[in-house]
Amino acid sequence: MKGKHLLLLLALAGMVVLFFGASINAEECADDGVIEMKNTEAFDSHRMGIVMFGHKQHYTAAPDGYGIACGECHHDDSGQPLELKEGDTVQSCFECHDQPGNARKPADMDREEWETAKLDYYKEALHANCIDCHKEGGAGPVKCADCHPRP
């Protein structure tokens, strides 16, 4: 009898975990795998049109998607690529690239140093990740209006 109760309890606990796990995921990611890039912590308001980022399309294998490894965009606290699979959780970019607003180069900093230092800004980190790859690969939008639709 006791064993049966314990099993029932464990099964219930499992269901609770599944239920809450699922609800957190549903809140964070859109069903269609498109992320509305509208970080309200980094920007008081958005000057540009909101970027609709085809997240799932980027990591889905070719020919349906672009076949980009998770680690091309998600890395650890020393910048090393993370090995992930669909369903894994990640830290938001803003947790580390945590300077809000527009980057401004301090007058006494040389240009080369600034190239790295400006990555502290969320906006610069995102632009570097997205635009650099599109440029280097010769595919994907690099023009402002091709990512930020005109309002």
- List interacting residues with ligand HEC (CB under 6 A): 28-29, 35, 37-39, 42-43, 46-48, 51, 53-55, 57-59, 66, 68, 70, 72-79, 84-86, 88-97, 116, 119, 123, 125-131, 133-134, 137, 139-144, 146-148
Compute the least distance from the CB of residue 18 to ligand HEC, in Å.
16
Find the angle CA(25)-CA(74)-CA(44) to the nearest 5 degrees.
Answer: 70
CB of 56 to ligand HEC, least distance (A): 8
CB 70 within 8 A of CB 82: yes
Q: Is 39 or 114 the residue whose CB approaches ligand HEC more closely?
A: 39
Q: How far is the CB of 17 from ligand HEC (least distance, A)?
A: 17
Angle at 146 between CA 114 and CA 74, to 5 degrees: 50
Which residues, in sequence order, are CB contacts of 58 under 8 Å at separation 6+? 65, 66, 68, 73
Taking the least distance from each CB to ligand HEC, the nearer of 9 and 22 is: 22
CA dihedral 104, 40, 98, 108 (to 10 degrees): 10
